[in-house]
């Protein structure tokens, strides 16, 4: 790719050139990680020759070896990602299920959980659009989570999540079951993964119905985009600016169109192999039980933990690792 980029005619095709340069930057990052690890191992080997009889140096070597082993485990784990889109940023959408305030509160709890998970990994997060609940929680929220392999890690979360607890909104504190749907899409690269023709897009503006002050509710700043060939509809009303809302809606629409294409490919593969692909509001993938006992269980891998507080504070790596070790994360 470096040789290609040095050719005189490389930039004649701007789109192709930019795509190549993006790929080159991504590959350089991967190579750099392995080269740094290679150097650290070489340094350890040299230290070992000097460490005989030196207890403090031996302790330093042991600590460095453990750190290198941890990095190696992470890199080895990333090699399990098999999709070309696993190294992308992720668009994550949360939709509250039926059940009003209960489910909307559960959707907000999940939003907090994923924001905490992203924070733990050092990822950047941005709430692109949010629809608040009437009394509490959120009806839906769309977030961008940016960082290495964000899409690969988070695709393990796609599906229905079920909560069982004593309701804080019920005067009798009865036990309630709530559901929320998590959608995870790789962020699309405009004009590379998805090209949207102007004639294929219907743009409508309307007044925002959510909170945000008089300005947002008096001006038609909210935007609704309809992709005519597929019928996909995306709305955004979280920003004061109509231009910004349209920009965000287009970003979400591109991710949805890419996800639609990937789903069609998966369904075709499944049809050829005689498998059935479950989608949308199908069976739940994970249950979070807070009463009468505490347990979070993934129904695909049977991985479970009784530390519900830790999970709801973003400790999801055990579930993600179990998903990939089970072979579910690999594309055939």
Q: What integer pLDDT is reported at residue 215 of this predicted model?
A: 40
Which whole number is the average pLDDT over 230-243? 90
Parallel, antiparallel, or unpaired: how do β-strands 284-289 and 159-166 relate?
parallel
- Per-residue burial over 251-271, b if 16 or more Cβ lie within 10 Å, else e, is bbbbbbbbbeebeeeeeeeee
pLDDT at 277 over 50: no
CA distance 89 to 143: 11
Going across the sheet that includes 222-227, the strands are 201-206, 222-227, 232-236
Which whole number is the average pLDDT over 93-98? 93
pTM: 0.77
Ranges 174-178, 277-281, 316-320, most confident: 316-320
Q: What integer pLDDT is reported at residue 280 of this predicted model?
A: 55
Q: What integer pLDDT is reported at residue 118 of this predicted model?
A: 97
pLDDT at 213 over 70: no
Higher pLDDT, 272 or 146: 146
| DSSP conformation letters of 44-75 | HHHHHHH-TT-HHHHHHHHHHHHHHHHHHHHH
CA distance 260 to 45: 50
CA distance 182 to 92: 7
φ/ψ (deg, to 5) at 49: -65, -25
SS3 280: coil
Region of poorest pLDDT, from 34-43, 94-103, 204-213: 204-213
Residue 96 CA, chain-centre distance (Å), reads 17
Q: What integer pLDDT is reported at residue 312 of this predicted model?
A: 98
pLDDT at 14 over 80: yes
Which whole number is the average pLDDT over 258-284? 71
Higher pLDDT, 219 or 88: 88
Which whole number is the average pLDDT over 49-53? 85
Q: What integer pLDDT is reported at residue 219 of this predicted model?
A: 61
Categorize the per-residue pLDDT at 111 as very low, low, confident or very high, splitting at 50, 70 and 90: very high
Q: What integer pLDDT is reported at residue 191 of this predicted model?
A: 64
pLDDT at 211 over 80: no
Q: What integer pLDDT is reported at residue 266 of this predicted model?
A: 79
Which whole number is the average pLDDT over 135-160? 93
Region of poorest pLDDT, from 86-100, 137-151, 209-223: 209-223
Categorize the per-residue pLDDT at 326 as very low, low, confident or very high, splitting at 50, 70 and 90: confident
Cα R_g (the chain), whole angstroms = 23
Ranges 20-29, 36-45, 170-179, most confident: 36-45
CB-count burial class (<10 Å; 0-12, 13-18, 19+) for 141? buried
Q: What integer pLDDT is reported at residue 276 of this predicted model?
A: 46
User: Cα dihedral sign for 51, 52, 57, 61?
Assistant: positive
Which whole number is the average pLDDT over 304-327? 93
Helix or strand holding residue 110 (H, E): helix 101-121
SS3 273: helix
* Chain position carrying tokens 């979400």: 252
Q: What integer pLDDT is reported at residue 329 of this predicted model?
A: 65
Higher pLDDT, 239 or 155: 155
Contact in structure between 79 and 278 (CB atoms under 8 Å): no
* Chain position carrying tokens 């309701």: 167
pLDDT at 253 over 90: yes
pLDDT at 50 over 90: no
pLDDT at 249 over 70: yes
CA distance 188 to 202: 20
Instruction: Quote the tokens at residue 44.
Output: 């350890």
Q: What integer pLDDT is reported at residue 42 of this predicted model?
A: 94
Categorize the per-residue pLDDT at 172 as very low, low, confident or very high, splitting at 50, 70 and 90: confident
Among the listed residues 120, 106, 101, the one whose alpha carbon sits nearest the alpha carbon of residue 161: 106
């Amino acid at each position: 790719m470096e040789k290609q980029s040095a050719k005189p005619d490389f930039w004649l095709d701007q789109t192709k050139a930019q795509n190549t340069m993006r790929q080159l930057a991504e590959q350089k990052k991967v190579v750099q990680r392995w080269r740094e690890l290679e150097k650290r191992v070489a340094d350890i080997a040299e230290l070992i020759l000097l460490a005989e009889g030196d207890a403090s140096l031996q302790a330093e070597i042991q600590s460095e070896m453990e750190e290198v082993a941890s990095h190696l485990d992470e890199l080895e784990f990333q090699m399990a990602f098999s999709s070309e889109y696993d190294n992308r940023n992720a668009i994550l959408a949360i939709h509250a299920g039926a059940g009003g305030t209960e489910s909307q509160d559960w959707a907000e709890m999940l939003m907090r959980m994923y924001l905490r998970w992203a924070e733990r990994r050092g990822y950047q997060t941005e709430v692109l659009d949010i629809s608040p609940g009437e009394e509490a929680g959120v009806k839906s929220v769309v977030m961008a989570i940016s960082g290495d392999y964000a899409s690969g890690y988070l695709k393990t979360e796609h599906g229905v999540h079920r909560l069982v607890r004593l309701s804080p909104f019920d005067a009798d504190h009865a036990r309630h079951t709530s559901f929320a749907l998590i959608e995870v899409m790789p962020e699309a690269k405009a004009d590379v993964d998805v090209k949207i023709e102007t004639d294929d897009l219907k743009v409508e503006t309307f007044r925002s119905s959510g909170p945000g002050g008089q300005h947002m509710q008096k001006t038609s700043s909210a935007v609704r985009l309809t992709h005519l060939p597929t019928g996909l509809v995306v709305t955004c009303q979280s920003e004061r600016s109509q231009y910004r809302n349209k920009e965000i809606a287009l970003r979400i629409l591109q991710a949805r169109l890419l996800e639609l294409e990937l789903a069609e490919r998966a369904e075709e593969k499944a049809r050829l192999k005689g498998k059935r692909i479950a989608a949308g509001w199908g069976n739940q993938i994970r249950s979070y039980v807070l009463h009468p006992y505490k347990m979070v269980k993934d129904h695909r891998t049977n991985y479970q933990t009784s530390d519900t507080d830790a999970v709801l504070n973003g400790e999801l790596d055990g579930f993600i690792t179990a998903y990939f070790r089970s072979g579910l994360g690999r594309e055939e």
